Structure formats: structure tokens, C-alpha cells
Amino acid sequence: MKGFEPQIVAFCCLNCAYSAADLAGSMRRQYAPNVRIVEIPCTGAIDQGVLLQAFEEGADGVFVAGCLEGDCRYQQGNIRAKKRLKALQKILDETGLGGERLEMFNLSAAMGVRFAEIADEMTSRIRSLGPSPLKRKWKGSAPE
């Protein structure tokens, strides 16, 4: 996968992960530049169809980052998101894309360092998995 730079979309809850990403920036904490952040009101609001759309439109990996379990502003949003992501991972496995390209993380708004770690961790995982098979087949080219 020489030269492959993963494109990762991160759906971040504005009450925690989004602020954590902000904090990571304020702390001048470096992390992989492959992550594009999308702010969402709560991970419980995430729609499985939107996550699929992210993959269809070119994401090599997607992660959803919500509050620590027990700390959701809306009580259960992150717990529900976890279950929905698990179901979607199964669908991704069935499509051949691979459920491991989708992950859920939990962190608080104060965990800027952890956000940077998550971004690096996910980038490293996707880099080792290679480009999304959608890109490979769609462009009709061999893996980079």
C-alpha cells in the first residue's frame, strides 16, 4: 500500500469528541491529518444510511466518537449508537467491505490527547487494511 493515505470520516458528538478534537488542536497535539470531522448533535442521532453513504462516497474508514458510557447528555445516545454500529458492521461484512473499517470510540471533552490517539489508531488500522475495496473496483485499478 505504498503511498496510500486513508481518507477517514469521523462523526463526532458535539458534547464530547468534537470538543476533544478542538482541545487536541489547542494543545498543539499532532495527529494524523487523514481524519475529516463531521459534527453531530449526539451519536444516538447517527443514521446507518449516512455511514454507508460515507463509504460509498470514498471513505476508507469511518469512526463515530461519542461520550463515555454513562455520560451521554441524552442518557442513552452513545449506548444506542454502539448497538447500531454493531449491526452495521455485520452489514459491511456481508457486503465484502469489512466491518473493521467502522469503529465506535468513547471519550470525554477533556480527552484531547485521547482524540489524537484515536485518530492515529484508526489511520494506522485503515492503512494496514488498504484502500476501500470500493475505490479499487470502482476505479478499475490495482491497489496502490
Partner 1 sequence: MIIAEQKPLAEIAGFVKDCERVLVAGCGGCVTVCLSGGEKEAEILAGALRIKRRIEGRPLETVTYTAPRQCDPEFIEAMDCVVQGVDAVISLACGVGPQYLAERYPDLPVYPAQNTKFAGGSRAHGVWEEYCGLCGDCILHRTGGICPVIRCPKSIQNGPCGGSQKGKCEINRDLDCVWQLIYDRLKRLGRLDLLKEVAPLKDWSKSRDGGPRRVIREDVMI
Interacting residues toward partner 1 by CB under 8 A: 47-49, 52-53, 55-56, 91-92, 94-97, 133-134, 137-138
Q: How far is the CB of 107 from partner 1 (least distance, A)?
A: 27
Q: How far is the CB of 143 from partner 1 (least distance, A)?
A: 13
Alpha helix (H) residue ranges in the chain: 17-26, 48-56, 77-95, 112-129, 133-138
Please say which residue, 33 or 49, places its beta carbon nearer to partner 1.
49
C-alpha 121/C-alpha 100 separation (Å) is 13
Cα–Cα separations (whole angstroms), residue 88 to 70, 83, 102, 114, 130: 23, 9, 8, 25, 20
Please say which residue, 56 or 110, places its beta carbon nearer to partner 1.
56
Please say which residue, 80 or 114, places its beta carbon nearer to partner 1.
80
Taking residue 108's Cβ as centre, other Cβ atoms within 10 Å add up to: 17
Q: How far is the CB of 20 from partner 1 (least distance, A)?
A: 29
